[in-house]
Amino acid sequence: MCVFCKIVKGEIPSYKIYENKNVLAFLDISQVTPGHTLVIPKKHYENIFELDEKISGELFKATNEIAKKLQKKLQINALNIINNNGPLAGQEVFHYHIHLLPRYENDNVKFNYPKHEFDKQKLEEIHKKILGN
Ligand code: 5GP
Ligand code: ZN
């Protein structure tokens, strides 16, 4: 059984901050910033590609609610939502989860994305690939 399934079952302790029938949220064990929270479906889905669409609706609704709770209780006005799917994307726990990362002045968190300027032809090619059969 995976580590988050164990948290759902109560076999591993966690600092829960939200719970309903299908969704659980708890503090990440390694806090990138204070209040760093994980929102998960109680049922095991490995990643976004497996996730049930009804559950994804419930998850985002809960995520929205929790974000507002963190905003109010931690007095923050900036927050990143991160979700890693697959090892190439940095996923380490293979039970779907959404990170909520409250942001603070001078918190020293930096996202280092490369930014590529694609020309029209390249963008059209990608667009066609996604929309085509
Ligand atoms: P990922 O890299 O898969 O998106 O993130 C997995 C996250 O799960 C990491 O931030 C890690 O700190 C967190 N995590 C791993 N094991 C546990 C645990 O036993 N309890 C809690 N609360 N968080 C965990
Ligand atoms: Zn699991």
Query: What's the mean per-residue pLDDT of the chain?
Result: 97
Number of domains in the chain: 1
Interatomic CA distance for residues 50 and 45, integer angstroms: 6
What is the per-residue pLDDT for 133?
75
**Closest by Cα among 13, 8, 87, 96 to 49:** 96
Instruction: Give φ, ψ of 28 to 5 degrees.
Output: -65, 140
**Ligand 1 environment, Cβ below 6 A:** 3, 12, 14, 26-30, 84, 90-93
**pTM of the predicted model, to two decimals?**
0.96
Structural contact between residues 81 and 100, judged by C-beta atoms closer than 8 angstroms? yes
The CA-atom distances, in angstroms, between 73 and each of 104, 106, 125 are 14, 19, 46
What is the per-residue pLDDT for 12?
97
pLDDT, tens digit, for every residue of 57-113? 999 999 999 999 999 999 999 999 999 999 999 999 999 999 999 999 999 999 999
Structural contact between residues 68 and 75, judged by C-beta atoms closer than 8 angstroms? no
Which domain CATH number covers 53?
Answer: 3.30.428.10
The H or E element that residue 100 is part of is strand 98-102
What is the per-residue pLDDT for 59?
98
**Closest by Cα among 40, 17, 16, 23 to 99:** 40
Quick one: average pLDDT of 28-47? 98
Residue 97 a catalytic site member: yes
**Closest by Cα among 67, 9, 68, 8 to 41:** 8
Which of the following is catalytic: 36, 97, 116, 127? 97
Ligand 1 atom at minimum distance from 93 CA: 3
Kindly state the percentage of the chain with pLDDT values over 70: 100
What is the per-residue pLDDT for 50?
97
